[in-house]
Amino acid sequence: MCNHHAHLECTIDAETKAIHERRNAIQVLAAGGMLTVSAGALSGCATNPETGEKQFIGLASESQLNQMALSSWNEMRQKIPTSNDPRYTRRLSTIGARVKRGANRENQKWDYAVFDKDSKNAFVLPGNRVGFYKGMMDFADNDDQIAAVMGHEVGHVSGRHARERVSQQMLGQTAIGLGTVLGGSQMSKKCNSFRTAAQAAKTREQYNAAKNGYNRCMQSAQRNTQLLSQALGLGFTFGVILPYSRNHELQSDLLGAKYMHKAGYDANQAVKLWEKMAEASPSRQPEFMSTHPDPDKRAAKLRDYIAYQERLGSQGWESIKMPKAS
């Protein structure tokens, strides 16, 4: 139930945590400029046909993301043991095949793996690589709930969330860098008066006083520039990245419900899964600090969405758009 990072705020062992951090490197490396930016990328807004929403995805090349994701996927499969138990692998591939048909993605190649860990987690990487932990499959009450998780992961793919997140991070890092340089330049300018005073000094005492004042001023400017960079980074994280991440999760929940319904599963089981998840994790950090919405909120959003689609009758389950009043 994750795009490219740990989904559920639960305790994981050090090895698994390290793998998750390496998967996050897909975004970090991209944001650091290792992805090639194509011509016209800065105007790379496009309408997503699945969600009907505009997305800024132009800074992230899909082929490059897929290649980076493949390296991460292969590394995970080497570092974390995978299950060969057909009770898990066959079940996952069967559910995956049905859900991808429900999403009209049956002609695409998908790669599934069951990792032999007790974590209640699942994830998807660019290139249609879906990983489930045994703990997630054991936690689910039935195939419908596993289909809800699978649908959610497919929703991340059709929502193009990886490309959007990486594009945002690349643009954000550029903006933070420029803001820091401009802000630091303005703070440093205030020290020029000491330099002028040193040049105009007529005595050694006047020169030393001006020089010491300049050094103190520059040290202060450097400290304040670092604080500015940190403040801009925090503002970007809490004001852009985390809200978008939570929106992606909710969006994938609705897409997942749509796909599992079209695949013949009971979408109401998605609600039950998140209600169960809420009961299993009563102590959580505040939502504004998290990449994921509160499980109770997710259950409520799904409940409203499913009820609305059922009211539409034969016209339902074609869109994830909800009336603004609901």
Sorted by where each begins, the domain ranges of the chain are: 14-164+238-315, 170-235
How many Cβ atoms sit within 10 Å of the Cβ of residue 177? 12
Query: Mind listing the pLDDT tens digit for each residue in 223-256?
Result: 998 888 888 777 756 676 666 688 899 999 999 9
What pLDDT score was predicted for residue 233?
Answer: 78
The confidence score (pLDDT) of residue 32 equals 40
Residues 6+ apart with CB under 8 A from 134: 83, 88, 114, 115, 116, 117, 118
Please state, in angstroms and rounded to a whole number, the distance separating the CA atoms of residues 57 and 74.
Answer: 25
The tokens describing 59, both together, are: 């800074």
Check residue 216 and give its pLDDT: 94
Task: Please choose, from the candidates 162, 167, 241, the residue with its C-alpha nearest in 3D space to the C-alpha of residue 4.
Answer: 162
Work out the burial of residue 152: count CB atoms within 10 Å of its CB; fewer than 13 is exposed, 13-18 middle, 19 or more buried.
Answer: buried
Specify whether the CB–CB gap between 93 and 130 falls below 8 A.
Answer: no
What is the pTM for the complete model shown?
Answer: 0.78
Query: In whole angstroms, what is the distance from residue 137 CA to residue 210 CA?
Result: 69
Residue 47 has φ and ψ, to the nearest 5°, of: -90, 125
Contact 92, 54 (CB under 8 A): no
Q: Where are the alpha helices (DSSP H) in 31-160?
A: 62-79, 86-102, 134-139, 143-158
| CB distance 103 to 83 below 8 Å | no
pLDDT value for 229: 83
Q: How far apart are CA 254 and CA 276, in angstroms?
A: 18
Q: Which residue has the tokens 């936690």?
A: 139
Cα–Cα distance for residue pair 109/100, rounded to 1 Å: 10
List, for the chain, all residue ranges whose pLDDT scores fall below the cut of 70.
1-44, 236-238, 240-244, 282-291, 325-326
DSSP symbol at 82:
B
Pick from 294, 317, 318, 295: which is nearest to 306 by CA?
Answer: 317
Say if residues 127 and 72 touch (Cβ distance below 8 Å): no
Residue-level pLDDT at 2 = 56
